[in-house]
Amino acid sequence: MKNDRLLRALHRLPVDCTPIWIMRQAGRYLPEYRETRERAGDFLTLCQTPELACEVTLQPLRRFELDAAILFSDILTIPDAMGLQLSINEGEGPRFARPLSSSRDIDRLGVPDPEDDLGYVTQAVRVIRRELDGSVPLIGFAGSPWTLATYMVEGQGSRDFVKIKSLMFDQSEAMHRLLNTLVDSVSLYLIAQAHAGAQVLMVFDTWGGALSYHDFCAYSLSPMTRIVQQVRADREASTIPLILFTKGGGQWLANIADSGCDALGCDWTTSLGQARQEVGDRVALQGNLDPAVLYAKPAQIEKAVTRVLDDFGSGDGHVFNLGHGITPGVDPENVRILVEAVHRQSKRN
């Protein structure tokens, strides 16, 4: 591996400077992404065509000195493979044609075979690894069971989570059956990505922060912990660093670290300095610049980078990232300024 900063930071080993990658680094803020998506016809075709998924994975790396590639795909590939029929339309967000509407629907769900039903993903991982040729590590990922369940039951994004929370409160057995199926599906999917060549694995728990502490532990953290255990039980995948990211989970970091993962993603509402005090040297930390800083002037981007680096402080185990995904309106030039600022300001003497 020519650039192993990310792997070293995740193992909390010394680095020459702090590694950085950006959530949603391949996406609509890049004109070449929009061009390739146009050529593919739509977002799902882009995900399902390994050569095109590889092309858009590499696009941000051609522009910026990022320290990792992340597989171009989506967390909703698993429910799509379960038969819920995903569509993602411009300006509308994701939507399922056949959302789950009864406990019968839940009982009928099967665990997708990653090499068969999701073979386009593992194939994309193989093609990307070949094209990266050892330049930077490749991150594979999946959604957390709770976050996938919210989309599967709501049928689309939600503000208040009325349907999924009604299921959780009124039919908790059905809710647990759904989460169990998702734990097995996500574990097999992550293990298959590792076998295909993913060198880091990340679980996106985008909606964990919508839960009470008790419900977070029962319905989001416990399923994620079982995924960590299942991935660790696979001989080949067991040594791969695992990152858990609960958006809005800053107050539960010590609990999340108990899962046995290697690193925690932090959104921008968390102080990395306080987070370190809470988790000690058990895990590395990833984050956590406010994504909106990328709309500010260069001097302000530089200052915001200084604040994040200073907040983490000295020592090993920091992966720089945004606190959530980059948004479509960002000027790519500001991403260049960010990446250069992180590397320059964090350079160890």
Binding residues for ligand CP3, per CB under 6 A? Answer: 23-28, 37, 43, 70, 72, 74-76, 88, 90, 93-94, 141, 157, 204, 206, 247, 325
Residue of 5, 24, 129, 276 with catalytic role: 24
Please give the helix or strand (H or E) that residue 284 lies within, else none. strand 284-289
Query: Could you tell me the smallest distance in angstroms from the CB atom of residue 190 to ligand CP3?
Result: 13
Which one of the listed residues 29, 33, 151, 219 is annotated catalytic? 151
Give the nearer residue to ligand CP3 in terms of CB position, either 12 or 72. 72
Give me 236's structure tokens: 């080949």
134 torsion bin: left (phi>0), alpha (psi -120 to 50), beta (else): left
Quote the least distance from Cβ 343 to ligand CP3, whole Å.
20
Q: Which CB, 58 or 217, lies closer to ligand CP3?
A: 58
Catalytic residue among 4, 28, 177, 311: 28
Residue 23 or 341 having the CB closest to ligand CP3: 23
Q: Of the two residues 112 and 248, which places its CB atom closer to ligand CP3 in the complex?
A: 248
Find the helix or strand (DSSP H, E) in which 96 lies. Answer: strand 93-96
Q: Cβ distance 203 to 245 under 8 Å?
A: yes
Q: How far is the CB of 115 from ligand CP3 (least distance, A)?
A: 21
Residue at shortest CB range from ligand CP3: 206
Distance CA(92)–CA(268), nearest Å, equals 25
Q: Which residues contact 284 (CB under 8 A, 6 or more apart)?
A: 9, 10, 11, 12, 241, 262, 263, 264, 316, 317, 318, 319
The active-site residue, picked from 5, 33, 67, 74, is 74
Please say whether the beta carbons of 250 and 266 come within 8 A. yes
Go through the chain and tell me how many residues it has.
349
Question: CB-wise, 260 or 325, nearer to ligand CP3?
Answer: 325
Shortest distance, CB of residue 227 to ligand CP3, whole angstroms?
15
For residue 334, is the peptide bond before it cis, meaning its omega torsion is within 30 degrees of 0?
A: no
Task: State both tokens at 18.
Answer: 């702090």
Task: Indicate if 282 belongs to the active site.
Answer: no
Residue 151: active-site member: yes
Cβ at position 11, least distance to ligand CP3 in Å: 22
Contact between 126 and 196 under an 8 Å Cβ cutoff? The reply is yes
Q: How many CB atoms lie within 10 A of CB 310?
A: 12
Own/partner pairs, 38-46, CB within 8 angstroms, 24+ separation = 42/88, 42/89, 43/74, 43/88, 44/80, 44/86, 44/87, 44/88, 46/72
> Which CB, 12 or 37, lies closer to ligand CP3?
37
CB of 245 vs ligand CP3, minimal distance in Å: 8
Rounded Cα distance between 73 and 124, Å, is 9
- Residues recognised as catalytic: 24, 28, 37, 74, 151
